Amino acid sequence: MSTTAQKGTVYLVGAGPGDPELLTLRALRLLESADVVFHDDLVTDEVLALVHRHALVTSVGKRCGRPRITQAGIHALMIESAKAGQSVVRLKSGDPLIFGRAGEELAALRAAGIAFEIVPGVTAALAAGAALALPLTDRKSASKLIFATGHHAEGKTSAPVWTGSLPEDATLVMYMPGRDTARIAEELRAAGVASDMPCAAISHAARPEQQVAACALQDLDELSCGPAPLMLMIGRAMAPLLDGEAVETLELPLREAFESLTDKR
């Protein structure tokens, strides 16, 4: 494996939650050597600052249902750039293979005969757990971890965020849950989830502006959540958040770490 980006190849790279210190070495080397970078809106300026200064950097983000470019347009940009002999990084927030439409992009690259590589990144749920010093699984309370999303493909906007039973010993992580916590609470109650089940809304996970709000399921209807990007975590492993144990301990050190990083740059 070459340590630098190769001409004619597309790299689907995970940018992680936003802290450049959480990038893999592979991701860093590709950013420092790629000719072209197409990035999501959620990729932070701190990460983009690592891109080679002569690279062409273009945002192809789609936020809040208002796409700047269609998915087909993103496919075309990657393919055209690779066919022109350029090395291409498709930079995705978090991990490329978790709710990032990587399947569609990989299918387009395969159909066009374009060489590609996938570089994993730290997904938001794991980053949030680390920032809060809160294990998502725990031998005493949670032996299962479930990732779900409230964002569905076109034509499926009315689909439930959650259906079916939820094991008592599971931590359920909902990416992009939307703002209708009352609807989610109703679906969870219909699934038989206990009214005292701890729930947490994490906004801007593992960023200096991270916000956390926690409650029992019985109060989720009226939970005041922070701004997007947002995720919900439901499960007994979230119990320390109800007591405020995890929220207060990490907020200041996390902010200081980012300020220190900014000063060094």
Give me the active site residues, please. Answer: 40, 62
**Could you tell me which residues come within 8 angstroms of residue 45 by beta carbon, excluding any fewer than 6 positions away?**
none
**Which residue is it, tokens 């950013």?**
31
Tokens representing 229 are 């990007």
Burial (CB count within 10 angstroms: exposed 0-12, middle 13-18, buried 19+), residue 247? buried
- Residue 57 parent element (H or E): strand 56-59
CB 195 within 8 A of CB 189: yes
Residue 176 Rama label (left phi>0; alpha psi -120 to 50; beta): left
What type of residue is 28? L
Q: How far apart (Å, rounded) are the C-alpha atoms in residues 35 and 9?
A: 10
Q: What is the end-to-end Cα distance of the chain in Å, rounded?
A: 30
Within 8 A by CB and 6+ apart from 126, the residues are: 136
